[in-house]
Amino acid sequence: MADMDLNGLKIRILGAGIGGLTAAIALRQRGGDVAILEQAEAITEVGAGLQVSPNGVAVLRALGLEDQLASRAVRAEAVELRDYAGGKLVARLDLGLMPEDARYYFVHRADLIDLLAGAARDAGVKVRLLQKVAEVVPGSSPVARMANGAEAKAQLIIGADGLHSKSRSALNGTVAPFFTRQVAWRATVPNTMDHGPVAQVHMGPRRHIVTYPLRGGALVNMVAVQERQSWVEEGWHIADDPNKLRARFADFGGQARAVLNAVSDVRQWGLFRHPVAPIWQKDNVALLGDAAHPTLPFMAQGAVMAMEDAWVLGDALAKAPDINTGLAQYQQRRQDRVARVVDAASGNAWKYHLSFTPVRMAAHFGLRAASILAPG
Ligand code: FAD
């Protein structure tokens, strides 16, 4: 069977998040005629930090972007699990013990999006803004219908349109995402507490806080998580009172306390997700990233899995005799690994939040991180 020639293949990618942009670069580098349709008026990212583990770095390296990442990111030295009250060390993954090319970075999401968007444009990807997709119709010439009535036809449509994906609905039916009973706060603060190049997970009963440095170590990124029975609002940008946040985590000590004390502006939101989609591809349409497999952030793998998807999709298409064989191979190569990561992230919610300290510590002797972070 001859490999498929992607040269000039008309590919439309829905969504200019980390997954969509990475896929656009990967497919354009293989010769595709690639355009991204993004609902927003600009490609920006207001969120805070992101951990890019070695499996994600391997994708950026393969795309020729690791140097750009390194120039904007902090190279991580370790991931540490700490007890919440006094900050006592429970477990440490020393990244210096990994092979030299297994690098791990902390990057501001805005910097990563900026890097990817620049690389996509430089590669010749067309980026079309204010294109809100309302419906995706699979077929031999699949179509994306916009909310304003316009249509985009292609030979291949990639749905990288996140949690509320219209592409997911087209392939799997429409089901609302479910609340995971976890609420998160995020903030960045000046690094006045001398936070080293380490991700610290501060674990407490029914709550945890993750901290790590950003932007040359000038800032510290904080994500705090608490279990809760219900949540009505959705969105990333609901402002909360820093004093209320401090009160909810009043028993946290160590470096977590120093970071909490420095918070002056904080956003809160409920964490929602879907199960991993049963169907990722059909009739010249494929899903990628959160559109296929949203996850709790407790393995720091959502964006990195989207990057892996993007690389494997390009590789599977290039090696296949036709589009739909390539898409089927893409799903087959990705589905089990992604399901394993999503399960591990959900398991971490349980482990991080156990009430009895010795049990919480013992649970971490079964840490599954190392096998997942390796380039897959
Ligand atoms: P998204 O980032 O959701 O992008 C989707 C894009 O599609 C957006 O630009 C959106 O505007 C656009 N879009 C949506 N609908 C439409 C439409 N109808 N028409 C046109 N465009 C549309 N992951 C990591 O790897 N490391 C981490 O450290 C990490 N930390 C996290 C911390 C928190 C607190 C959270 C919540 C998540 C974290 N993640 C992390 C997960 C990561 O943020 C997501 O998995 C990742 O952003 C998914 O990327 P995506 O491109 O698939 O989707």
Site to probe by mutation for ligand 1, drawn from 22, 36, 39 as the one with most ligand atoms within 8 Å of Cβ, is 39
Kindly state whether residue 54 falls inside one of the protein's structural domains.
no
Closest CA to 307 of 105, 81, 99, 8: 105
| Atom 27 (ligand 1) nearest CA | 300
Distance 307 CA to ligand 1 centre (A): 11
State yes or no: pLDDT of 3 exceeds 50. Answer: yes
- Supply the CATH number for residue 34's domain: 3.50.50.60
The answer to whether 221 and 186 are in contact (CB under 8 A) is: yes
pTM, whole model, 2 decimals?
A: 0.94
Rounded to whole angstroms, the Cα distance separating 313 from 320 reads 11
- Say if the ipTM goes beyond 0.85: yes
> In this predicted structure, what is the pLDDT of residue 348?
79
Kindly state whether residue 122 falls inside one of the protein's structural domains.
yes
pLDDT tens-digit map of 70-111: 999 999 999 999 999 999 998 899 999 999 999 999 999 999
Rounded to whole angstroms, the Cα distance separating 352 from 297 reads 12
Kindly state whether residue 168 falls inside one of the protein's structural domains.
yes
Distance 140 CA to ligand 1 centre (A): 28
Cα distances (angstroms) measured from residue 80 to each of 233, 316, 364: 32, 36, 11
> In this predicted structure, what is the pLDDT of residue 231?
79
The answer to whether 342 and 333 are in contact (CB under 8 A) is: no
Kindly state whether residue 260 falls inside one of the protein's structural domains.
no
Kindly state whether residue 36 falls inside one of the protein's structural domains.
yes
Provide, for the chain, the percentages of residues in helix, strand and coil under a 3-state DSSP scheme, each rounded to the nearest 5.
Answer: 40, 30, 35
State yes or no: pLDDT of 19 exceeds 90. Answer: yes
φ, ψ at 206 (rounded to 5°) = 60, 15
Share of the chain above pLDDT 70, in %: 91
The answer, yes or no, to whether any atom of ligand 1 lies below 6 A from the CB of 60, is no
Closest CA to 138 of 14, 320, 265, 297: 14
287 by Cβ neighbours in 10 Å (0-12 / 13-18 / 19+) ranks as: buried
What is the DSSP secondary structure assignment for residue 98, as one 8-state letter? S
Question: Which residue range is the domain that position 35 belongs to?
Answer: 10-45+109-176+274-349
> In this predicted structure, what is the pLDDT of residue 355?
61
Active site residues: 212
Q: Please state the rounded mean pLDDT for residues 148-159.
A: 97
Distance 88 CA to ligand 1 centre (A): 33
The answer, yes or no, to whether any atom of ligand 1 lies below 6 A from the CB of 372, is no
Strand segments, DSSP code E, in the chain are: 10-14, 33-37, 49-52, 74-75, 78-83, 89-94, 105-108, 126-128, 133-137, 143-146, 151-153, 156-159, 178-190, 198-204, 207-214, 219-227, 238-240, 266-273, 281-282, 285-287
State yes or no: pLDDT of 137 exceeds 70. Answer: yes
Distance 300 CA to ligand 1 centre (A): 12
Site to probe by mutation for ligand 1, drawn from 38, 107, 287 as the one with most ligand atoms within 8 Å of Cβ, is 38
> In this predicted structure, what is the pLDDT of residue 4?
81
Kindly state whether residue 31 falls inside one of the protein's structural domains.
yes
> In this predicted structure, what is the pLDDT of residue 20?
98
Rounded to whole angstroms, the Cα distance separating 314 from 319 reads 9
Mean pLDDT of the chain: 91
pLDDT tens-digit map of 167-220: 999 999 999 999 999 999 999 999 999 999 999 999 999 999 999 999 999 999
- Total number of domains in the chain: 1
Confidence of residue 372 (pLDDT cuts 50, 70, 90): very low
| Atom 53 (ligand 1) nearest CA | 162
Kindly state whether residue 331 falls inside one of the protein's structural domains.
yes
3-state secondary structure of 349: helix
Chain centroid to Cα 141, Å, comes to 30
Q: Hey, CA dihedral for 242, 247, 253, 256, is it positive or negative? A: negative
- H-assigned helices in 124-217: 166-172
The answer to whether 206 and 247 are in contact (CB under 8 A) is: no
State yes or no: pLDDT of 151 exceeds 80. Answer: yes
Closest CA to 299 of 354, 360, 373, 203: 373
Atom of ligand 1 nearest to the CA of 37: 20
Q: Given the DSSP bridges, would you call strands 10-14 and 156-159 parallel, antiparallel or unpaired?
A: parallel
> In this predicted structure, what is the pLDDT of residue 371?
45
Strand partners, 347: none
pLDDT tens-digit map of 32-48: 999 999 999 988 777 78
State yes or no: pLDDT of 272 exceeds 50. Answer: yes
Q: Given the DSSP bridges, would you call strands 126-128 and 33-37 parallel, antiparallel or unpaired?
A: parallel
pLDDT tens-digit map of 63-72: 999 999 999 9
The answer, yes or no, to whether any atom of ligand 1 lies below 6 A from the CB of 255, is no
Distance 229 CA to ligand 1 centre (A): 24
First to last CA, the chain: 26
Rounded to whole angstroms, the Cα distance separating 232 from 188 reads 25
The answer, yes or no, to whether any atom of ligand 1 lies below 6 A from the CB of 15, is yes
Confidence of residue 370 (pLDDT cuts 50, 70, 90): very low
The answer to whether 14 and 157 are in contact (CB under 8 A) is: yes
Gyration radius from the chain CA atoms: 21
> In this predicted structure, what is the pLDDT of residue 236?
59
Kindly state whether residue 244 falls inside one of the protein's structural domains.
no
The answer, yes or no, to whether any atom of ligand 1 lies below 6 A from the CB of 112, is no
φ, ψ at 96 (rounded to 5°) = -65, -20
pLDDT tens-digit map of 309-353: 999 999 999 999 999 999 999 999 999 999 999 999 988 777 777
The answer, yes or no, to whether any atom of ligand 1 lies below 6 A from the CB of 304, is yes
> In this predicted structure, what is the pLDDT of residue 376?
36
Atom of ligand 1 nearest to the CA of 22: 51
Q: Please state the rounded mean pLDDT for residues 128-142.
A: 97
The answer, yes or no, to whether any atom of ligand 1 lies below 6 A from the CB of 300, is yes
Q: Which carries the bigger pLDDT value, residue 304 or residue 3?
A: 304
The answer, yes or no, to whether any atom of ligand 1 lies below 6 A from the CB of 40, is yes
